[in-house]
Amino acid sequence: MQDKIILATSPSGPAAQQASWQRQLSNAIRDPAALCTRLGLPEAWLPGASAGHALFDICVPDAFIRRMAHSDPSDPLLRQVLPLGEETVTPSGFVTDPLAEADHQPAKGLIHKYAGRVLLIASPTCAVNCRYCFRRHFPYGDHAPSRAQWQEALDYLRADASLQEAIFSGGDPLAANDRQLAWLVGELAQIPHLKRLRIHTRLPVVIPDRVDDALLDWLESTRLQKVVVLHINHANEINQAVVDACARLKQAGATLLNQSVLLRGVNDSVSALAELSERLFDAGILPYYLHVLDPVQGAAHFDVTDEQARELLADLRNVLPGFLLPRLVREIPGEASKTPL
Ligand code: SF4
């Protein structure tokens, strides 16, 4: 079992003091049999689900499950979270650190890959464990700094005047509690050369109630420009609760973008990608990146070839206006930016 932590970073008080989103996360399904039962999957799926779960814990909150079809193993949302026996297959080229992030960690909790921006692992936990995640083997236990330990990372940011943007990543940064996030954002806002705060998150999608007053308080009040990059792979993920959560984020002054991963059996068709872009725009989100799969061990069954990816994008160009077309990219370790395909 890899060491990714699956419990939310939550206050230590009684459940009654937890926010709604924290209770929902505490109650997420973390057992393959429970997920199969909840969705009416045939028992034949259980051995594979258990084998995948042994490599990377299952974690799915009910708010996300409610958007899945019952008794349908090919449901595009379920496919993203259901462990499979295929995860035990390890073809060559699929590795535990596909983006070589271990080479770019100048301080605990910090990853510095690109000029002008730096990434902070603001939380080691997620609200959902996506089976294709390129960080499914990330040593989160080594990157959960205390406030005192954050000082080293903050000193690094203070010392480099070329940095204009701090990026909250994880895990899912919004799995951290708001007191902690407000403190960290406050520290960043005091660094004069920082202009922007970017937040990469799936939580407003998986548990829309995460966008509550406590979150909006610190988001709205910071002097930093705010960009929230959501992670949505399929149009069915966007229900009314997600639309409402996005409206609240926009009202707090955030620019909303989306990045997706091109996933076999989930969104590898022109119709799925076109509908995703349309629904994103309806929710006030601009399609930004469509990533090809990072070759992480355990996710090879999601892979779409480069040739198929390029064909899909060419066909998508014929049905969508340019501003709804995501950029098809790959991240190559050591490159100065994402590489267009
Ligand atoms: S893709 Fe994002 S939300 Fe999903 S497991 Fe990875 S870090 Fe967490």
Q: How far is the CA of 159 from the centre of ligand 1 (A)?
A: 30
For the chain, the structural domain boundaries read 15-88, 101-340
Q: How far is the CA of 318 from the centre of ligand 1 (A)?
A: 31
The pLDDT confidence band at residue 193, using thresholds 50, 70 and 90, is very high
CA angle 135, 138, 144 (to 5 degrees): 115
Give the per-residue pLDDT at 11.
42
For the chain, the residue count is 341
Give the per-residue pLDDT at 244.
98
The pLDDT confidence band at residue 256, using thresholds 50, 70 and 90, is very high
Digit-coded pLDDT (tens) for 73-99: 999 999 999 999 999 998 999 999 888
**Paired residues of 84 in beta bridges:** none
Give the per-residue pLDDT at 14.
53
Higher pLDDT residue, 109 or 27? 27
d(CA 166, CA 314): 33
Q: Name the residue with the closest Cα to ligand 1, atom 7.
A: 171
Q: How far is the CA of 198 from the centre of ligand 1 (A)?
A: 16
Give the per-residue pLDDT at 9.
40
- Hey, which of 130, 200, 205, 262 would you mutate to test ligand 1's pocket, going by the most ligand atoms within 8 Å of its Cβ? 130
Mean pLDDT score of the chain: 92
Give the per-residue pLDDT at 318.
97
- Rounded percentage of the chain residues whose pLDDT exceeds 90: 82
Give the per-residue pLDDT at 223.
98
Digit-coded pLDDT (tens) for 7-24: 344 444 455 578 999 999
d(CA 23, CA 13): 12
Residue 281: name the closest of 243, 237, 252 by CA: 243
Q: How far is the CA of 161 from the centre of ligand 1 (A)?
A: 30
- Hey, which of 133, 230, 289 would you mutate to test ligand 1's pocket, going by the most ligand atoms within 8 Å of its Cβ? 133
Higher pLDDT residue, 6 or 78? 78
CB atoms within 10 A of CB 94: 17
pLDDT at 25 over 60: yes
For domain 101-340, the CATH superfamily is Aldolase class I (3.20.20.70)
Q: How far is the CA of 129 from the centre of ligand 1 (A)?
A: 6
Q: How confident is the model over 304-331, as a mean pLDDT? A: 97
Q: How far is the CA of 130 from the centre of ligand 1 (A)?
A: 5
Q: How confident is the model over 36-57, as a mean pLDDT? A: 95
**Among the ranges given (49-58, 134-143, 231-240, 284-293), the one the predictor scored with the smallest mean pLDDT:** 134-143
Residue 187: name the closest of 144, 218, 229 by CA: 218
Q: How confident is the model over 209-220, as a mean pLDDT? A: 98
**Paired residues of 198 in beta bridges:** 167, 227
The atom of ligand 1 lying closest to the CA of 135 is 6
Residues with CB under 6 A from ligand 1: 126, 128-130, 133, 135, 170-172, 202, 231
The atom of ligand 1 lying closest to the CA of 261 is 1
Q: How far is the CA of 333 from the centre of ligand 1 (A)?
A: 19
Residue 23: name the closest of 205, 230, 207 by CA: 207
Dihedral class, residue 40 (left if φ above 0, else alpha if ψ from -120 to 50, else beta)? left
pLDDT at 301 over 90: yes
Give the per-residue pLDDT at 81.
97
pLDDT at 4 over 80: no
pLDDT at 143 over 80: no
- Hey, which of 6, 30, 77, 126 would you mutate to test ligand 1's pocket, going by the most ligand atoms within 8 Å of its Cβ? 126
Higher pLDDT residue, 331 or 129? 129
Q: How far is the CA of 131 from the centre of ligand 1 (A)?
A: 8
Q: How far is the CA of 135 from the centre of ligand 1 (A)?
A: 7
Q: How confident is the model over 62-82, as a mean pLDDT? A: 97
Higher pLDDT residue, 313 or 18? 313
CA dihedral 131→134→136→142, nearest 10 degrees, is: -160
Give the per-residue pLDDT at 12.
43
Q: How confident is the model over 204-219, as a mean pLDDT? A: 98
pLDDT at 65 over 90: yes
Identity of the residue numbered 191: I
Radius of gyration of the chain (CA): 19
pLDDT at 3 over 50: no
pTM of the predicted model as reported, rounded to 2 decimal places = 0.93
**Among the ranges given (84-98, 240-254, 275-289), the one the predictor scored with the smallest mean pLDDT:** 84-98
d(CA 288, CA 230): 10
pLDDT at 221 over 70: yes
d(CA 59, CA 130): 8
Give the per-residue pLDDT at 173.
96
Q: Write the CB contacts of 37 (distance below 8 Å, at least 6 apart in sequence).
A: none
Q: Name the residue with the closest Cα to ligand 1, atom 4.
A: 130
d(CA 330, CA 282): 27
The stretches of the chain forming alpha helices (DSSP H) are 20-26, 32-38, 46-55, 62-65, 76-81, 147-159, 178-189, 203-206, 213-221, 240-251, 270-282, 306-317
